[in-house]
Structure 1
Amino acid sequence: MTILSKHDDFPGKPGKSRNFDKFNFKPPLPVRDGVSPSYIWLPHGPWGTLLSFLNERFPNVEDTTWRSRMDRGEVVNAQGVRMVAGSLYHPGDCIFYYRELELETSIPFTESILYQDEHLLVADKPHFLPVIPSGRFLHETLLVRLKKKTGLKHLTPIHRIDRETAGIVVFSHNMRTRNDYQSLFQKREIEKVYEAYAKYLTGVKFPFVYRSRMVEGTPFFRMQETDGESNSETCIDILEQGSDATLYRLRPLTGKKHQLRVHLAALGIPIINDPFYPVAQACKGDDMSLPLQLLARSISFRDPLNGQTRYFESGKKLVLTEG
């Protein structure tokens, strides 16, 4: 029994649980307190009931929690049919539910809305605030905060920046024009400028372009460079040279995960307070005293709907703090 297999805008892989915000499809559960439902495709396997699969797939969620969600009608299939404790397991089905966190770290920094029209919303994100729900963050994310603030239920980011990075994030809230703006990022028709503090790099002439081949690294959340044809490029220049640190202007010409952090670390000048590069440090938990000195300063592009030049700039400034 395959559910929604004909919907190209509703992709998924069996066994993968994801948040629903990025897809142009109306889920069978509504947005609740700014949180869209998550969903999971059911893979082939030995499970007789849906509950037995959920207990195995999510070992950190108690059986009683799933039963309580089902009793409240908060676990449904793609047609909106309520799932109960005795519901049979159907491979290929798609199940929707709400993520819940008993304890969530409060992020004591505030985002701001720089621009909003009938298609886009542009936000200025603080350090430490994730863009979308993931892991131990749900309500303390930029997306959910903005949904609560604006009431825009179709709001979704059309690009991402790391939780550790501050600065500009562009959102779409119009499903009719979302693909028009997303295609700009896919075609690399967006100019992004970042700023970062790091040690001074000697022996080179600025500006210059650094290129390398990046692949997934170890641990799983890191990237690494490897031999082979380059797939990442960054233009690097100096804005201000100080005695303790240099302020760099970084323009990524490609959009690999952690690209700027990997490139500067590879040059021997890791971004100040980077917990991942060049070496992954022990998790600091809720310590937010040393923000990564990386800021998404600006984004510019030609609007695909009217041809106008769009330019958005962060109002935040890097404040140099070292551990």
Structure 2
Amino acid sequence: MRSPLPPREGISATRLRAPGGKQTSAKAHLPVPETVESWLAQEFPDHSPQDRAWLTEHPDGGCLTDETGRPAGPDDPVMPGGFYFFHRPVPHEDPVPFALTVLHEDRDIVVVDKPHFLASTPNGRFVRQSAVTRLRIELNEPDLVAVHRLDRVTAGLLLFSRRPETRGAYQVLFQNRRVHKTYRALAWLPDDFDPHTLPAVRRTRLHKTKGDRQVVEIPGAPNTETRLRFEGIRGRAARRLPPESAPVVGPEASLPNHEAELTSIGEFALEPVTGKTHQLRVHLNGLGVPMVGDPVYPADWAPDPYDFSDPLQLVADGLQFTDPLSGKAREFQSNFPLSVPTGLAR
């Protein structure tokens, strides 16, 4: 259900659903509180009555409304199973000092180059400093929605939908894997690296434990697939991985020497067939060639999110698809370069 509240400073309203009503959610069986205030006390037990009053009474507050857009006062009855909307207070965020670049725009979509370190969508501590929020403000378009996502530390192409009327057609493209995506990456190479032993496809099973930053490869039926191609040496350096950083290696690993000294930097072309979290980073790391600038693989260094000194050398480089509205072939290319660390370029 679409919010009756427009975004505020580029940030969408939060949605709540009341107990009771004809619904399939976990709250359907719960008793319906008599008033909005008593319901909010249940929803936000750690907040004081004064804090909750900010939602319904303060002129600059959350502007709690029902699904029709009617303001909901603290003494109003609760609509069983109904949707309510409000704006959460959003704290200050230090700016991410890199700009979004618009590469293409038409009536229905906008394609941008997202910089490293900028979140794609509002998430956790990054709400104002996200591509969605910033682009809504820059273009003065509150209906902009990202159709897919990139990791915060990944740069490159991000596609936005402009109109709710046509948004679903583009979302289905990505959901049904009808978009051909290509990536470029720089990775550290061991001294004994042999590109002829590199598999053309890597298929492994990825697993992420809740609360862990790292995704790991585990035994079992593959749930991910990446096509990869070595493009050549781009620099020479020296880096040694600690033994404890060795990842779980899948059955297709052909470069198992994770404790070897890494002496070169190579470029890879990557095509994700599936789209799991950190998939490309984990797959290269599992082959013994971790990406340059990766703060999580092979070892999680608990990176400072505002340390911009060593960006991950991974770029979402290309998007190709048949436009679901016009039937025409669409192709977009990122302008972001890969950057070999200073002094190491070949």
TM-score grouping bracket, smaller chain normalisation: 0.7 to 0.9
Distance 1:320 1:219, change over 3 A: farther
SS at 1:240 equivalent: strand
- Contact persistence 1:101–1:136 (CA under 8 A): no
Query: Which residue is equivalent to 1:19?
Result: none
Q: Report whether the alignment pairs 1:192 with 2:187.
A: no
C-alpha separation in 2, matches of 1:266 and 1:229: 16
C-alpha separation in 2, matches of 1:62 and 1:130: 32
Distance 1:207 1:312, change over 3 A: farther
1:142 to 131, 153, 159: 131
CA deviation map 1:105-137 (0-9, x unaligned): 211000111000111110110011111111112
Cα offset for 1:223? Answer: 2.5
Query: Which residue is equivalent to 1:67?
Result: 53
Query: Which residue is equivalent to 1:274?
Result: 294
Cα offset for 1:88? Answer: 6.2
SS at 1:68 equivalent: helix
AA of the residue aligned to 2:132: L
Q: Report whether the alignment pairs 1:227 with 2:219.
A: yes
AA of the residue aligned to 1:55: F
C-alpha separation in 1, matches of 2:79 and 2:283: 46
Cα offset for 1:29? Answer: 1.0
Distance 1:204 1:240, change over 3 A: closer
Query: Which residue is equivalent to 2:97?
Result: 108
Query: Which residue is equivalent to 1:14?
Result: none
Aligned residue runs from structure 1 range 166-245, under 5 A: 166-200=155-189, 202-205=193-196, 206=198, 208-241=200-233, 242-244=235-237, 245=265
Distance 1:41 1:235, change over 3 A: same
Cα offset for 1:307? Answer: 2.4
Aligned residue runs from structure 1 range 256-275, under 5 A: 256-275=276-295
Query: Which residue is equivalent to 1:306?
Result: 326
Cα offset for 1:54? Answer: 3.6
Query: Which residue is equivalent to 1:164?
Result: 153
Query: Which residue is equivalent to 2:240?
Result: none
Bigger Cα displacement from structure 2, 83-92 vs 295-304: 83-92
Distance 1:271 1:46, change over 3 A: farther
- Contact persistence 2:204–2:223 (CA under 8 A): yes
SS at 1:199 equivalent: strand
CA deviation map 1:121-163 (0-9, x unaligned): 1011001111111111222211111111222222111111011
Distance 1:85 1:222, change over 3 A: farther
Q: Report whether the alignment pairs 1:292 with 2:312.
A: yes
Query: Which residue is equivalent to 1:248?
Result: 268
AA of the residue aligned to 1:275: P
Distance 1:54 1:309, change over 3 A: same
CA deviation map 1:161-205 (0-9, x unaligned): 011110000111122222222222122121111111111262452
Cα offset for 1:217? Answer: 2.6
Distance 1:294 1:102, change over 3 A: same
The structure with more radius of gyration: 2
1:98 to 87, 94, 103: 87
C-alpha separation in 2, matches of 1:221 and 1:172: 30
CA deviation map 1:11-37 (0-9, x unaligned): xxxxxxxxxxxxxx3x12122222221
C-alpha separation in 2, matches of 1:294 and 1:62: 45
C-alpha separation in 2, matches of 1:89 and 1:270: 54
Query: Which residue is equivalent to 1:41?
Result: 17
Query: Which residue is equivalent to 2:339?
Result: 319
Query: Which residue is equivalent to 1:18?
Result: none
What is the number of residues matched between the two proteins? 295
TM value normalised by structure 2: 0.77
Distance 1:309 1:84, change over 3 A: same
- Contact persistence 1:35–1:144 (CA under 8 A): yes
AA of the residue aligned to 2:7: V
Cα offset for 1:90? Answer: 6.5
Distance 1:86 1:286, change over 3 A: farther
AA of the residue aligned to 1:174: R
- Contact persistence 1:233–1:254 (CA under 8 A): yes
